[in-house]
Amino acid sequence: MVRTLSIGVIGIQGAISEHIGSMKSALKEANTSGNVFVVKNEEEINDLDALLLPGGESTTISRELYRSGLYNAILKRIKEKNLPIMGTCAGCVLLASEISYDTNDIKPLKAMEMQVVRNAFGRQKESFEKEINIEGFDASYNAVFIRAPIIKKIWGNCKALAKIKKKIVMARQENILALSFHPELTSDLRVHKYFLDMII
C-alpha cells in the first residue's frame, strides 16, 4: 500500500494558497502521494508528516500560534524531532532561537540554532529578486525577498545553505529548513522538492 503524506500549511497569514499549490506540484513531479491542506487547530498537528510556516507579519503569526494552541503542539513535535518544517520569511524568524532587537512581542519556536534579524533588507518598498546559489542545486535560483529577515548567526548543528554576500538567507538543521525568501512566489519548484526530499 502506498503511503499518503500529510503536509500542513499554517493558515494565519502569508501566501498560503501559493505554498499549497507549489507543494502539490512538487508531489506530482516526484510521483508521490500526498495531501496538502491549511492547518488551523492544534489537533491537526499530531497527524502531520511535515509542516510549512508561511511569511506574513511575524508578531501577528506568533500571537495567533500561541493563542490557538498551535505553538505548543508544534513545539512538542519539534522536541520529538519527528516533524520536518519549512519556514519562509516570517516563518524563518519563528524557527530561530534568538531574534535580534526583539521587543518580546514574538515567542520563537527555538527550533534552530540561529539568530535572525527581522526586516533586515528593508521595508516593503525595498523588496527585490536576486539570483542566489543554493548548496546542492545545479543552477542558480531566482529568490524573491519581501521585507526579508537575514540569518545573522548560526551555531551547533545549523548549516548555511545560501548567502547573499556574507548574509545567510537559507539554513538547515536536521529536518528543519529556514528561508529568508519566498519560494512559493516563483514557478521554480526546487526548494519545495528539496523540502519534500527531507520528508520522504
| pLDDT tens-digit readout, 47-67 | 999 999 999 999 999 999 999
pLDDT tens, 153-191? 999 999 999 999 999 999 999 999 999 999 999 999 999
| Domain positions in the chain | 5-199
Residue keyed to cell 495567533: 64
> Whats the size of the chain, residue-wise?
200
CB 168 within 8 A of CB 154: yes
| pTM higher than the cut 0.85 | yes
Closest listed residue to residue 91, CA positions, set 164, 28, 158, 184 = 184
pLDDT tens, 156-166? 999 999 999 99
Collapse the DSSP code of 75 into the 3-class scheme (helix H, G, I; strand E, B; otherwise coil) and give the result.
helix
- Give the Å distances, CA to CA, from 145 to 78, 100, 133, 183, 200: 27, 19, 15, 9, 28
Catalytic residue, chosen from 89, 92, 158, 192, is 89
**CATH classification of 5-199 is 3.40.50.880, yes or no?**
yes
Catalytic residue, chosen from 19, 92, 184, 192, is 184
Catalytic residue, chosen from 19, 92, 158, 182, is 182
- Number of CB atoms found within 10 A of residue 87's CB: 25
92 is catalytic: no
pLDDT tens, 116-157? 999 887 766 668 999 999 999 999 999 999 999 999 999 999
44 is catalytic: no
Say yes or no to pLDDT of 1 above 60: no
89 is catalytic: yes
CB 92 within 8 A of CB 56: no
Radius of gyration of the chain measured on its C-alpha atoms: 15
